[in-house]
Structure 1
Amino acid sequence: MKTGMKTLCSFVIALLCCASSLSAAQQWKDTIVVSRDGTGDYRTLTEAMEGIRAFMDYKVTVLVKNGVYKEKVVLPSWLENVDFIGEDVEKTIITYDDHANINKMGTFRTYTLKVEGSSITFRNLTIENNAARLGQAVALHTEGDRLVFINCRFLGNQDTVYTGAKATRLYFLNCYIEGTTDFIFGPSTALFDTCIIHSKANSYVTAASTPKDVEVGYVFKNCKLTAAPGVDKVYLGRPWRPYAATVFIGCELGKHICPAGWDNWRNPENEKTARYAEYGSTGEGAGNANRVKWAKQLSKEEVAKYENPDSLFRICSDWKEMSHD
């Protein structure tokens, strides 16, 4: 081939490579809009996953417009460094209606939103499982690490929020969580900061399954525990696994909270291992005179390690940055 022809071929190849690179750059946006009416980049959250590059080193923002998104959403493990921001927490709704007794589905497949990815923030979203009360029905199922939920609502009945992976760290700020039985459950380390925890039936709020070798399980700080009319016998928690760890700090407990506070899940052996405690509880359900003897009232010194999110999460491992500004 003559030199001129070689040069021309090289030039054409270079142009094609540049065009390919430009096309890839245009495909991966740092801001994506999801809108049910078709005016955004995608109509569903599931479709939007295709527009987010795997393992990004930059932040992507997904703006979710008001609407009802009836879909079963999985955020895969390769998804990182993403903010999902709803337009209005009461009008931006992700919903589905699976429950455990549909085709023998079991609890862990009933989720509306399953988060396998890490370093993800959610703001101003309602995540709902609106199945009938016919079995366990998870709204949020988490498996990723460093997940932050700000001003979100989690609606459901039994098993609303499943924090499903050991040694993962979750932060809930100014959220509303409702349910009937064990509606916050699982093995993760999770801080619930200034949240409303609403019981819809006489039952149990938490069912932690904290592993023995994990120091911190669930921490509720400055939360308000409320109940539906007629609900008057609710326990703060029962141990799904023997070393369940749950602490309430500076929380306002409604009169629906039982004087005993905690339940051993029909197994006295759990009383030797469960790590249940309170500090500075207020409200009609806060009296500790009749609390079970195997739960603890923390001292000022003992509560110090829970004083701020950064120090709390460093107890577990090194989560240096919290996305709650």
Structure 2
Amino acid sequence: MADGVTSTKFFLIALLLFTFTAVTSQVATTNNYASDEAILITVDQSGKGDYWKIQDAIDAVPSNNAENVYIAVKPGTYTEKIWVPADKPFITIAGAGPGETIITWSQGGEIYDTPTFTVLASDFTGRTLTIQNTYGKGARAVALRASGDRAAFYDCSIKSYQDTLLSENGKQYYSNCYIEGAVDFIFGSSAALFQNCHLHSTADEVGFITAHRRDNASENLGFSFVGCKISGLSKTTLGRPWSPYSRVIFALTHMSNVVAPQGWDDWGRSPDELSTVYFGQYRCWGAGADTSQRVKWARELTFQEAAPLMTSGFIGGTYWLRQAPTRFKSISALRSSNVTAAGNN
């Protein structure tokens, strides 16, 4: 009997992994709509790079930038508040690894005052670095505010306690990221796909992973977690509705026993408001994935319902997700662009 149960378990896991690979293949084969060449800027605290500070490198990019700019940040802890303005698209900031390149600040208070790292520009990419707000308990303390359209983050660690990640607007993609917090630690009004991410709750009692906002059912917005992992220190819910049309799904995700049996929190919403909330899960597994005690307004999704939210098509990623550049131009090309731009003003 035990062998039969084990065989069935492994069969189901294999089925989930096969399904996950099939429905996410679009992400891996997205078109590189931009050139694979970029202008390289290096940031190094030892003084061996082009700049000592990350913000100085961003400031060097001209307004209305049309070039791919790759800012390579050497290992170190950078105590900076980073600001990528709206008129500087096509910037990548890449560290040497989440444990090697750490961008940190400590500030609590109003949401828009606190972020360690703010991205207002479109077509931004973050790679292999840590972004953290170390303020801790007692106030909102955003680590990353991603407010520009077509933002992507790969192999990043994003950490705070309350309101860690403001995925505010537009289309966003998070791949193989570690995201840590306790209260509404992934929140906003974007259409965001989270693939192979690790969500870790540090709540002392019952935490809340997500708080999504969508103003009406016609908006193609929501948070979609595919092939992710949930762990934590204590019980947590999968999320609560910031608005009556909030949309969050978890698919093919391992949920440890930290996920509370009810799954979701109503945040004081009326029954009418909860009837329009779209919270659900598809083929999740682990001790916390049992849906038998879920709130009545949560959904167990069919493949047909989940599939449109599980691939890069949900965020239009086929047209804008791109690989890391493989060819680089000197920073002198950027300085030439600055001179040309200045001469045209």
Question: What TM-score, normalized by structure 1, do the two folds share?
Answer: 0.84
User: 1:52, 1:71 → 2: CA distance?
Assistant: 18
- The Cα of 1:324 is off from its aligned counterpart by 5.0
State the match for 1:3 in structure 2.
none
- The Cα of 1:306 is off from its aligned counterpart by 2.5
Matched, 1:61 2:70: yes
Q: Which amino acid aligns with 1:156?
A: S
Q: Which amino acid aligns with 1:32?
A: I
Give % identity: 34
- What secondary structure, in the 3-state scheme, does the structure 1 residue paired with 2:249 have? strand
User: 1:287, 1:87 → 2: CA distance?
Assistant: 39
Matched, 1:305 2:343: no
Q: Which has the higher contact order (CA 8 A, sep 6+)?
A: 2
State the match for 1:159 in structure 2.
163
- The Cα of 1:322 is off from its aligned counterpart by 1.1
State the match for 2:112 in structure 1.
108
Instruction: Show the 5 A alignment for 1:231-310.
Output: 231=234, 233-269=235-271, 270-309=273-312
- The Cα of 1:319 is off from its aligned counterpart by 6.0
Q: Which amino acid aligns with 2:185?
A: F
On the 8 A contact 2:70/2:91 being kept in 1, the answer is yes
State the match for 2:178 in structure 1.
176
Q: Which amino acid aligns with 1:257?
A: V
On the 8 A contact 1:258/1:285 being kept in 2, the answer is yes
Matched, 1:78 2:87: yes
Q: Which amino acid aligns with 2:150?
A: R
- What secondary structure, in the 3-state scheme, does the structure 1 residue paired with 2:284 have? coil
2:211 to 207, 225, 246: 207
1:42 to 51, 55, 58: 51
2:104 to 83, 87, 95: 95
Superposed CA deviations along residues 27-63 of structure 1, whole A, max 9, x for unmatched, are xx91100111211111111111222122333211100
- The Cα of 1:108 is off from its aligned counterpart by 2.0
- What secondary structure, in the 3-state scheme, does the structure 1 residue paired with 2:183 have? coil
- The Cα of 1:307 is off from its aligned counterpart by 3.6
Which consecutive aligned stretches of 4+ in structure 1 deviate over 3 angstroms post-superposition?
Answer: none
Unaligned 5+ runs, structure 1? 1-28, 101-105
In 2 relative to 1, CA 144–77 (structure 1 residues): closer, same or farther, beyond 3 Å?
Answer: same
In 2 relative to 1, CA 260–137 (structure 1 residues): closer, same or farther, beyond 3 Å?
Answer: same
State the match for 1:129 in structure 2.
133
State the match for 1:323 in structure 2.
322
User: 1:250, 1:171 → 2: CA distance?
Assistant: 17
- The Cα of 1:267 is off from its aligned counterpart by 2.0
2:124 to 120, 126, 138: 120
- What secondary structure, in the 3-state scheme, does the structure 2 residue paired with 1:303 have? helix
User: 2:310, 2:199 → 1: CA distance?
Assistant: 20
On the 8 A contact 2:193/2:310 being kept in 1, the answer is no
Unaligned 5+ runs, structure 2? 1-37, 325-345
On the 8 A contact 1:141/1:163 being kept in 2, the answer is yes
On the 8 A contact 1:278/1:296 being kept in 2, the answer is yes
In 2 relative to 1, CA 204–44 (structure 1 residues): closer, same or farther, beyond 3 Å?
Answer: same
User: 2:45, 2:63 → 1: CA distance?
Assistant: 24
Superposed CA deviations along residues 214-240 of structure 1, whole A, max 9, x for unmatched, are 223000000000012xx1x21100011
- The Cα of 1:142 is off from its aligned counterpart by 1.3
Q: Which amino acid aligns with 1:242?
A: P
Q: How many residues align?
A: 283
Q: Alignment RMSD, CA only?
A: 1.5
User: 1:303, 1:217 → 2: CA distance?
Assistant: 12
- The Cα of 1:157 is off from its aligned counterpart by 0.3
Superposed CA deviations along residues 79-123 of structure 1, whole A, max 9, x for unmatched, are 1112111012111011100101xxxxx122110000000101110
On the 8 A contact 1:137/1:158 being kept in 2, the answer is yes
State the match for 2:28 in structure 1.
none
